Amino acid sequence: MTYSIIGILATILLLIGNRDVLCKPNGTEYSPTRKSYCRFLFGVLVYYITDMLWGILDEHHLIKLLFADTTVYFVAMIATVMLWTHYVVSYLDRKNFFERWLLHVGQIIFWLVLAGIIFNFFYPVFFWFESDGSYHTGYMRHVALALQILMFLSASIYTLYTTTKTEGVIRQRHLTIGLFGLAMAVFLLFQVFFPLWPFYAMGYMLGLNFLHSYVLEDEKEEYRHKLEVSREALKEALETAEKANKAKTVFLSKMSHEIRTPMNAIIGLNSIALTDKSVPKSTRDHLEKIGAAAQHLLGIINDILDISRIDSGSITIKNEEFSLTKILEQVNYIIQGQCESKDILYHYEVQEGATGNYIGDETKLRQILINILGNSVKFTPEGGGIKMTVESEPASGIKRTLRFIIEDTGIGIAADFLPRIFETFAQEDESFSSKYGSTGLGLPITKSLVELMDGHIDVESEKGLGSKFTVTVTLQKSSRKESGQRGQGAANGDGTDKPKVDLEGRKILLAEDVAVNAEITTMILSMRKINVEHAENGRIAVEMFRDHKPGYYDAILMDVRMPEMDGLQATAAIRAMDREDAKSIPIIALTANAFDEDVQNSLQAGLNAHLSKPIEPESLFKTLEELL
């Protein structure tokens, strides 16, 4: 029963000590070396089981089963040596002639011994049992054991040789593997002279514990260390990326400010020149073309800044209450004007129940609709038609799914180009850039904004017949009711019924450090006979407000980036004053800072509204009317 006791003990130790190797976690992919070691362990396990059964079968004199068990025993023995050689070669991975020789010789020996074992069924050359159960060995057993000793010695000597070319923990592992092979060769030698003693099993039992402790566990520790180093490197890379992203955001913000400032002068002065009725017709034509080109340039600048911010992840989605009716009226007012200039019929229809107040990003939704409708206007010829339909259906809870369907009778899109339509700078025809003023950025920006709102956009089109875009977003419905909802028709105004405030004679404090911008703003305000007092920076604006009695100024137009004291600091100083109008006077940011975070910073600093340059006179007047 000695064999059985040793076999049981060895099996238990192998399963417990190597459970992390034998039981591969789901989703884990082992390396070729680890796979070779697993196969070797399974070979040893089979060998242990034959040892365990041999003692039990011998105790009960089950001769036929003993013969079958001993046959498997010899197959497992030679197979395990071959698998050990595969592991050593895979572990060292020198890819030289001797490694290839070891693998080929190991396979040849395995097949020769296997052939001898098969032959043993017909003529006893390995072993045989007498009728009384006594066990006898043949000469082929000694040959097989000698060949196994040779393989262990060859692999071990080669492994020990490689230790001379390594150092540190790797050298220690190679040394452990080499000594294991030498030890197994010694135990096999004992097995030759003492066939009824389980020296071979005991060698594996002791050697595998050393291999697991000094090779596998050491490798795990090294892997953990490398993983920790990788985590630190990833952490540093993330911090570097965040810094770079922040720097990019700052750069884009500054670029936006620097580009918009001269654009404000160009567009502003051009708009003022067009108001002069004495301008000759030919000059007026030139001015109108300058204005159109400047607006086109501003659109390109805005698109480039938007796509850059989307790529850098700088754009965030707000969750604020807004009126869908108001958005639709604003969009329709803009698109109706564009359609009238091209003699395009524009019609919109809103499904009952779609309008109302929602929670989401009003600005992004407006931009999405204007981008798609603007594209339809751009690519629809004179006499064509555009239609927008707004549908709504219940979603989960208090949410509703809104569907904006925009159809046109434009030039359409070829079927082979449809898969690329949302790619950055993609254009079906390179001539579109000059013919239609297309940059190939509008739709990629639109798709990104829709996806940021957890929605999706679909397109159907046929060349020469038109296109159909469907934007689907799910928003939370607000419980607050809105009045003055309109269902369908042609857009014809901003849709507000609130009476206009008379701006004539109002006194405005303008804080602006750029002289030409101050001149333009003053001239724009003079169109409505508004009185303007100019402060060259934030500090002067604070002093002028402080030095005049309460109620002297009706509102303040505040640039944000100014020397000595910026607009946000000046606003905070005014709001902190101990006077009755300090908290109530409308302060409007009038700045080239146009990003969402700039708007948020303005509102947090105490400003009532944020208008971006170039100044749109109607937007400025409308804001003043709402706040006064």
**pLDDT reading at 331 higher than 50:** yes
Same domain, 513 and 473: no
Do the domain assignments include residue 244?
Answer: no
Instruction: For residue 430, count CB atoms less than 10 angstroms from its CB and return exposed for 0-12, middle for 13-18, buried for 19 or more.
Output: exposed
Contacts of 427 (CB under 8 A, 6+ apart): 433, 438, 440
- Dump pLDDT digits (tens) for 194-238: 877 777 788 888 887 777 776 666 666 667 777 888 888 888 888
Q: In angstroms, rounded to a whole number, what is the distance separating the alpha carbons of residues 574 and 600? A: 19
Same domain, 538 and 616: yes
Same domain, 430 and 515: no
Do the domain assignments include residue 323?
Answer: yes
Provide the pLDDT for residue 441: 75
- Dump pLDDT digits (tens) for 57-88: 888 888 899 999 999 989 998 999 999 999 88
- The C-alpha torsion from 565 through 567 and 572 to 575, rounded to 10°, is 120
Same domain, 607 and 462: no
Provide the pLDDT for residue 352: 81
Provide the pLDDT for residue 133: 81
Number of domains in the chain: 3
Same domain, 396 and 528: no
Do the domain assignments include residue 275?
Answer: no
Strand partners, 394: 400
Same domain, 559 and 610: yes
Cis peptide before 614 (omega within 30 of 0): yes
**What's at 421, amino acid-wise?**
I
Same domain, 403 and 376: yes
Cα separation of the two ends of the chain: 104
Domain that holds residue 541: 507-627
Do the domain assignments include residue 418?
Answer: yes
Contacts of 423 (CB under 8 A, 6+ apart): 440, 444
CATH of the domain at 517: 3.40.50.2300
Same domain, 479 and 540: no
Instruction: For residue 232, count CB atoms less than 10 angstroms from its CB and return exposed for 0-12, middle for 13-18, buried for 19 or more.
Output: exposed
Angle at 94 between CA 182 and CA 82, to 5 degrees: 45
Do the domain assignments include residue 325?
Answer: yes
3-state DSSP call for residue 163? helix
CATH of the domain at 177: 1.20.1070.10
Do the domain assignments include residue 294?
Answer: no
**Arithmetic mean of pLDDT over the chain:** 83
Q: H helices then E strands: how many in the chain?
A: 19, 15
Provide the pLDDT for residue 494: 42
- Dump pLDDT digits (tens) for 490-542: 443 344 445 567 888 999 999 998 888 888 889 889 888 999 999 999 999 99
**pLDDT reading at 361 higher than 90:** no
Same domain, 514 and 467: no
Instruction: Name which residue leads in pLDDT, 602 or 504.
Output: 504
